Amino acid sequence: MSVPPVAGARETPVANPLFEYLLRLGDDRLVLGHRMSEWCGHGPILEEDIAMANIALDLVGQGSSLLQLAGVTEGAGRDEDALAYFRGEPEFRNAQLVELPKGDFAFTMVRQFLFDAYSVLQLDALQKSTFAPLAGLASKALKEDSYHLRHSSDWVLRLGDGTAESHARAQAALDELWRFTGELFESDAVDEAVRDNGIVVDQAAIQSRWQQVVADVTRRATLTLPPAGASASGGRRGRHTEFLGHMLAEMQIVARSHPGAKW
């Protein structure tokens, strides 16, 4: 199914843009955190297994705080657990990039690098927001994601400029992931509307700095950036790849089978 380009597309007004915006921020981190957590116990070496579990924990923690704030903003009595476990796939607002299966180690690390660089730039802009609860969460998450970026960019270098095998896998990952990166920088009516809430993020400026960083690291890693082309889109409006539903089934099964369970 082809998705019309966002720029210039007529869109129906969003009922609660701030809620939508916070869902996008929270879902990106919750979904990527869950994908990262799938490595727990399966890492290539013990240190890396621990590192990936730590990164997953940070991301799920950030997602939890952002969804909690989203729930408060919505004002319908949903908390972070209700939003994480009792929304269906079309209600998730994450970019498609983060929902793709974890793939091999190179795929996971290249994706993490592409997201980390984006996230650091986005959070840096958000921490200057005049919407204080979000600015606080952003300043906290920024420190964590800066640490993640150092780790993931190190791995892109080691894999790209490593053996023939690791280079081939890193290049294949970059080739496959590239068309999913455009969605991160889309701007629509929601971004426009939250300006009234003091959230001003210049997506075009972020994209241009992101491209510089990605070009620099991939060049040093002897990887070749794929040519610009058609970009995947739709996640921000609830249109996802076939992979998200499967992931959610696994992520949500316990909460849905035993609603309200305590231990």
Partner 1 sequence: MRGEESGVPTREQVLEILEQVKDPEIPVVSVVELGIVRRVAVAGTQVAITITPTYSGCPAMREIEQDIRAALSAEGFDDVILETVHSPAWTTDWIGAEAREKLRAYGIAPPGPAEQGGLVTIARRRAAAVCPRCGSSNTSLQSEFGSTACKAIHVCNACREPFDEFKAF
59 makes contact with partner 1 (CB under 8 A): yes
Number of residues counted as binding partner 1 (CB under 8 A): 44
47 makes contact with partner 1 (CB under 8 A): yes
Among 6, 60, 100, 248, binds partner 1 (CB under 8 A): 60
- Least distance from partner 1 to the Cβ atom of residue 1, Å: 36
203 makes contact with partner 1 (CB under 8 A): no
64 makes contact with partner 1 (CB under 8 A): yes
Of residues 173-202, those binding partner 1 (CB under 8 A): none
161 makes contact with partner 1 (CB under 8 A): no
Among 213, 232, 248, 251, binds partner 1 (CB under 8 A): 213
Token pair 């080739």 is found at: 175
- Least distance from partner 1 to the Cβ atom of residue 138, Å: 9
Instruction: State which residue, 51 or 177, has the beta carbon closest to partner 1.
Output: 51
Among 9, 50, 228, 230, binds partner 1 (CB under 8 A): 50
Among 28, 80, 99, 144, binds partner 1 (CB under 8 A): 144
- Least distance from partner 1 to the Cβ atom of residue 79, Å: 14
132 makes contact with partner 1 (CB under 8 A): yes
Among 6, 22, 55, 248, binds partner 1 (CB under 8 A): 55
Of residues 83-112, those binding partner 1 (CB under 8 A): none
Residues with Cβ within 8 Å of 71's Cβ and at least 6 positions away in sequence, in order, are 77, 78, 79, 80, 82, 83
Token pair 């992520």 is found at: 251
| SS (HEC) of the chain | CCCCCCCCCCCCCCCCHHHHHHHHHHHHHHHHHHHHHCCCCCCCCHHHHHHHHHHHHHHHHHHHHHHHHHHHHHCCCCCHHHHHHCCCHHHCCCCHHHHCCCCCHHHHHHHHHHHHHHHHHHHHHHCCCCCHHHHHHHHHHHHHHHHHHHHHHHHHHHHHCCCHHHHHHHHHHHHHHHHHCHHHHCCCHHHHHHHHHCCCCCHHHHHHHHHHHHHHHHHHCCCCCCCCCCCCCCHHHCCCCHHHHHHHHHHHHHHHHCCCCCC
Instruction: State which residue, 220 or 246, has the beta carbon closest to partner 1.
Output: 220
Are 194 and 21 in contact by the 8 Å Cβ rule? The answer is: yes
Binding site for partner 1 (CB under 8 A): 33, 47-48, 50-51, 54-62, 64-65, 117, 120-121, 124, 132-133, 135-137, 139-144, 146-147, 149-151, 153-154, 157, 209, 213, 216-217, 220
